[in-house]
Amino acid sequence: MSRKKPIFGSWIVPVAVVAVVVWLAIRALASNSASEAPTQQLQGDFEKVVTAKGLPEQILNYEAMTISFNASTHNPNWVAWELTRDEAKGEEPRSNKFHPDPNVPGCASPDDYRNSGFDRGHMAPAGDMKWSQKAMEESFTMTNICPQAKALNTGAWKKLEEKCRLWADRDSALVIVCGPVPGDPIDMYIGTSQVVVPQRFFKVILAPYANPPRGIGFIMPNERVEGGMQRAAVSIDEVERVTGHDFFSALPDSIENVIEAQCNFNLWSTLK
């Protein structure tokens, strides 16, 4: 008498094998898709800035930053630097030793700020330079400093600097350019050097290695910023219009046009 085969015996093993194979294939496909997700590997000198026509400038190439210095105002026209994820986590202690650059005509002295009512306001912040002793010392060079109202320097400006370090950690690197807005009426000077007190400051930020790449700008008055940094957010196009500078020209035009038209502070703040 022949034994009856189990009802499922003829197909349960093959189906199980097929299921496992399919599952492994799906996992491999998902893994490959994640590793091969489209990213735009942008390359170029993103710290390059075309300075507004008519502004005197001396280009200073420090280790940590590039500065366009204006001897007539005794301020930088702009300061540009890259901030990477690792640099944002540096541990070099703050220097606090402001000093002039003896090789730069028109460089202000720390004493020009004494009893002026204005802070020695960093453009490239000391907090971004904790990755090396030299970078930290360079950030206290007076070519990197502008007269800033304390309400700005310790308020929205400082909070934006802190945000940039968080964004650099998230996006692997940022390129940042900031400085005083040129062309505003000059109605105040400080110190023996007659350092011009800017009425406004700008900052533009590029995340070239984010997917997709993105950018944002800010314009802040040299006083308390009503509504904080979010209210000061503008497009990079707007900063270029106000300052006359040209930022991030190393980007391909198709990408530059999109990035520089953006102004979405909430997107920057909520992205993980």
| Intra-chain end-to-end CA distance of the chain, in Å | 69
Annotation says 74 is catalytic? no
Distance (Å, whole) CA 187 – CA 10 = 93
Distance (Å, whole) CA 144 – CA 122 = 6
Residue 154 in tokens: 């310790």
User: In sequence order, what DSSP letters do the residues of 226-262 get, joined into one string?
Assistant: TTHHHHTEE-HHHHHHHH--EE-TTS-HHHHHHHHH-
Of 74, 99, 122, 245, the active-site residue reads 122
Strand partners of residue 207? 214
User: In sequence order, what DSSP letters do the residues of 28-50 get, joined into one string?
Assistant: HHHHHHHHT-------S-TT-EE
**Catalytic positions:** 122
